[in-house]
């Protein structure tokens, strides 16, 4: 058990269950340097043809060129 969640087993493989309320958890706030401080954690992956952004609030976006 950790601050943000805990490890479980799904379909025989380990998975992290993120069950923290990032809107109220003070430790979740960070400074992204390109905007104001936030508690929304996001990840961008992709290349020149396709880009994917996911976030801890459950949103996801896909862009294709």
10-residue stretch averages of pLDDT, the chain, 65 residues long: 89 92 87 87 90 88 90
Say what the pLDDT of residue 2 is: 84
Say what the pLDDT of residue 62 is: 94
Is the separation of the CB atoms in 56 and 41 below 8 Å? Answer: yes
Say what the pLDDT of residue 21 is: 86
Say what the pLDDT of residue 11 is: 96
Say what the pLDDT of residue 47 is: 93
Say what the pLDDT of residue 46 is: 93
Residue 45 DSSP SS3: strand
Nearest Cα to 46, choosing from 26, 25, 65, 24? 65
Token readout for 5 is 């969640």
β-bridge mates for residue 60, sequence order? 54
């Amino acid at each position: 058990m950790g601050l943000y969640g805990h490890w479980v087993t799904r379909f025989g493989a380990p998975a992290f269950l993120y069950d923290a309320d990032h809107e109220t958890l003070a430790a979740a706030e960070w400074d992204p340097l390109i905007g104001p401080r936030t508690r929304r954690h996001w990840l961008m992956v992709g290349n020149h043809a396709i880009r994917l952004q996911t976030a801890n609030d459950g949103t996801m976006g896909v862009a294709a060129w």
